[in-house]
């Protein structure tokens, strides 16, 4: 979905009004942080990768064609930046390692209304279920994990996801279907 306000801010930035890009950063910073975290699963690297993604977007703004929405274009940059980091980490496994406990302990993920927070037993069950869900999501193949995250967490349409992931809409539908099926199978014992 195109955002005319974003397009105006981009045009102003291209005309030398640097403050206009700062508005775009503030508008999308939290969402980009969440996307990067969900792709990398490394809380400590998120600010650096977000800064890198925004810098790449700023430097490449003259290549933005105004056909796509700025947000989907920015998401593609953030995901590619994140995947490059993950790829380099896999080549050098000692760089940036974090154990599952620190990932599971991240309060910004899978938060709910807190209805069980007053009962320690319910809180422990909820934490265990959340950890199981995160493990199941983490175990998905990268393309499935990113697709389901963009759909269910970020709320992007199939067309926007196809644009971000540079693949046909049918492929996106297939990936999301497979991700849901795998998650259902993995989580059946606890749900």
15-70, pLDDT tens digit by residue? Answer: 999 899 999 999 999 999 999 998 888 889 999 999 999 999 999 999 998 888 89
Longest CA pairwise span in the chain (Å): 58
Strands (E), 70-167: none
Please choose, from the candidates 94, 23, 35, 106, the residue with its C-alpha nearest in 3D space to the C-alpha of residue 7: 23
Whether pLDDT at 108 is above 50: no
Q: CATH 1.10.1740.10 spans which residues of the chain?
A: 1-98
Q: CATH 1.10.10.10 spans which residues of the chain?
A: 116-191
Q: Which CATH number applies to 116-191: 3.30.300.130, 2.60.120.330, 1.10.10.10, 3.30.1280.10?
A: 1.10.10.10
This prediction has a pTM of 0.68
Alpha-carbon gap, residue 90 to 84, rounded angstroms: 10
Alpha-carbon gap, residue 113 to 118, rounded angstroms: 12
69: phi then psi, degrees, rounded to nearest 5: -80, 150
Q: Tokens at residue 145, please?
A: 């994990």
Alpha-carbon gap, residue 149 to 135, rounded angstroms: 14
Q: In this structure, are residues 29 and 75 in contact, taking their beta carbons and an 8 Å threshold? A: no
Residue, of 97 and 74, whose pLDDT is higher? 74
Question: 1-98 architecture in CATH?
Answer: Orthogonal Bundle (1.10)
Q: In this structure, are residues 45 and 96 in contact, taking their beta carbons and an 8 Å threshold? A: yes
Q: Tokens at residue 59, please?
A: 């430097």
């Amino acid at each position: 979905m195109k955002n005319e306000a974003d397009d105006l801010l981009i045009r102003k930035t291209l005309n030398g009004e640097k403050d206009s890009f700062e508005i775009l950063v503030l508008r999308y910073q939290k969402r980009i942080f969440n996307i990067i975290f969900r792709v990398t699963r490394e809380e400590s690297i998120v600010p650096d990768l977000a800064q890198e993604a925004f810098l790449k977007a700023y430097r490449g703004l003259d290549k933005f064609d105004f056909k796509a929405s700025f947000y989907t274009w920015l998401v593609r940059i953030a995901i590619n930046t994140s995947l490059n980091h993950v790829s380099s980490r896999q080549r050098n496994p000692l760089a940036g390692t974090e154990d599952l406990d620190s990932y599971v302990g991240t309060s910004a993920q899978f938060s709910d209304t807190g209805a069980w927070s007053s009962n320690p037993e319910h809180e422990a069950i909820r934490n265990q279920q959340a950890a199981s869900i995160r493990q199941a999501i983490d175990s998905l193949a990268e393309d499935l994990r990113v697709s389901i995250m963009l759909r269910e967490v970020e709320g992007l349409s199939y067309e926007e996801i196809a644009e971000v992931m540079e693949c046909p809409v049918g492929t996106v539908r297939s990936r999301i279907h497979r991700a849901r099926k795998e998650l259902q199978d993995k989580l059946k014992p606890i749900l």
